[in-house]
Structure 1
């Protein structure tokens, strides 16, 4: 094999390897939605409970610790930022750290309450970070006494790990909804 043929094959191999690497580690956006019905619960009650990040350790079992770094506003439009760390439910040896910014607001005229948040989650000592956004909405149920809580999440993940990321998001969202329902079922019994 001549030197020119060897260099051409090597260059072609490098180009194909870089293309393959790009398609396996490129970041893609994904979406997930979750909801829960809370009987005999006003949407305001659920909204206040979820908006208080100290309750998130109860709702989301992957959160290890957190600190509030800033807050401003009032009851009808409250903004705060937090730093928190959590482990991954399907790989608990890997911790990640995140910074999140929350906007908690109410449209009392329509009886709808919102918690919008933007998160930057970093793994591997901050060398690999991904973004996510959430809209958590609380409103009266049309069909019966109670509230509907809906969350829409947009999250980033490398294409190669999309299945792993999806399982992680589903685990956390399902845990939050299940624990939210459990909390208000218990509080109704204690009334």
Structure 2
């Protein structure tokens, strides 16, 4: 009888040593693999002194009680909105520029980086800055455009969620391209 417990013990020991071997592998860093449809743009015509193109997945809403030429461009599936505001220039270009340039600076507390690109289109007479914000800031991109004589437009992206850069990065990257497209297609009437 002493052979059976020794044999059982030996078998259990062998299986324990061989069966419990685990290879520890570190988890890979991963980003959410979201796919968005290729953008298709449509020209927005209105009574405003400008026109531009927006992505067809976006919904344009005119702000009735604010200003007849201010719009919200909503992305319902992405939980984001581009806020677009027009102001006529009435001997106040310097004040408009100062306000538009201060807006990205409000995000420096939470932003990891803010990159400003100068935008110039002499043919369309559109001049301004495009700001890309990295980090947990409330807005991921902003711009202003002007013809320096009559027209001034600002735009910015905001999400309906707490700013967590890693979580909103795919959607923010997609909408930044649309915001750049608005800048590039802006025409004064």
TM-score for the superposition, normalised by structure 1: 0.32
Select the structure that is richer in helix: 1
More strand by share: 1
Select the structure of larger CA radius of gyration.
2
